[in-house]
Amino acid sequence: MKPYTSEPDRIEGGSGKDGAAALARYARRQQAHVLSREKRKKTVRFFSWLFFALAVAWGAGTLIWNGYGALKTAASREMAIRQLKNAIDDHDVAALRGMLRVTNEEVPINEKTLAPLFAYFDRHSEAYDELDKEFDRQRKGEHVYIKGLTSRPPVFAIHAFRDRYVFEPAFYFLHVRVAAPEVTLVVNGVTRKGEATKDPFVQKIGPCLPGVYEITVVDRNGKKKTVRVELFGGARVREIDLTK
């Protein structure tokens, strides 16, 4: 078996011009190898920085896009709230028809059903500030309303519906205690037939939109008693005693 001899040793073992030429070829090969290795390192470094730069750009773009989306959503929400308040202030029934989402067919949105709401805001200018506070609580998740379970709904629950925001008004119910089952109930000047309950002396009125209501009870002798009720926040079901 022949002992291993490195290429430089073999070259040095040569003689004359052949040895010098071999040494030159070997030097060129070594230089080419070094240059190739450095080129590979530079290529790896280049693509590593390129990948890093792309990752940073993608992350920044995502943050910017998400930030833009959040700003756009917040702006749309605030604009919808401002339009709601303006429509109430202007008594704009047509505008409110497009903003209010009412699932209860018993309460159509018209001039008659909105009159109590307009009356409340006309009497209480601070109600607009109360709306702002309520919407802020909803935005922060401090007031979560579950229909059928939560007894204190927001006056207007704001929802994203398709490409816009809509408002779901609270529905209130009045449990009116009367002295006799045969009495007549008049709500804001309109005779209403109360719904019977388990207690024959308690009649149920509703659903009612937020606002001011005057409840009058008329007995068989024509004697009247009137009480004013403001339904704006608070419990969904109110008890009114007209026997006192």
Q: Tell me: the pLDDT tens digits for 58-68?
A: 666 555 545 54
In contact, 192 and 106? CB cutoff 8 Å: no
Structure-derived torsion over alpha carbons of residues 213, 106, 96, 226, reported in degrees to the nearest 10 = -10
- 55/176: higher pLDDT: 176
- % of residues, the chain, pLDDT over 70: 65
Strand 172-177 to 190-192 pairing: unpaired
Packed helices 16-89 and 127-139: angle between N→C axes, nearest 10 degrees: 150
Which residue in this structure is represented by tokens 């008329």? Answer: 218
pLDDT at 221: 86
Q: Tell me: the pLDDT tens digits for 153-195?
A: 899 999 888 788 999 999 999 999 998 888 899 999 999 888 8
Q: H/E/C letters for each residue in the chain?
A: CCCCCCHHHHHHCCCHHHHHHHHHHHHHHHHHHHHHHHHHHHHHHHHHHHHHHHHHHHHHHHHHHHHHHHHHHHHHHHHHHHHHHHHHHCCCHHHHHHHECCCCCCCCCCHHHHHHHHHHHHHCCCHHHHHHHHHHHHHCCCCCCCCCCCCCCCCEEEEEECCEEEEEECCEEEEEECCCCCCEEEECCEEECCEECCCCCEEEEEEECCEEEEEEEECCCCCEEEEEEEECCCCCEEEEECCC
Give me the residue spans of the domains in the chain: 1-75, 90-244
With 80 as the cut, is the pLDDT of residue 236 above it?
A: yes
Question: Of 7-21, 34-48, 67-81, 144-158, where does the model show the most confidence?
Answer: 144-158
With 90 as the cut, is the pLDDT of residue 92 above it?
A: yes
Mean pLDDT of 68-73: 49
Per-residue confidence band for 3, with pLDDT thresholds at 50, 70 and 90: low
What would the two tokens of residue 119 be?
């009356």
Per-residue confidence band for 98, with pLDDT thresholds at 50, 70 and 90: very high
Q: Tell me: the pLDDT tens digits for 112-152?
A: 999 999 999 999 999 999 999 999 988 887 555 555 555 68
pLDDT at 193: 83
- 177/34: higher pLDDT: 177
Mean pLDDT of 28-54: 65
| 137: CB partners within 8 A, 6+ apart | 143, 154
pLDDT at 10: 52
Q: Tell me: the pLDDT tens digits for 20-32?
A: 666 666 666 666 6
pTM of model > 0.85 = no
pLDDT at 69: 46
In contact, 137 and 177? CB cutoff 8 Å: no
pLDDT at 68: 43
Mean pLDDT of 68-95: 82
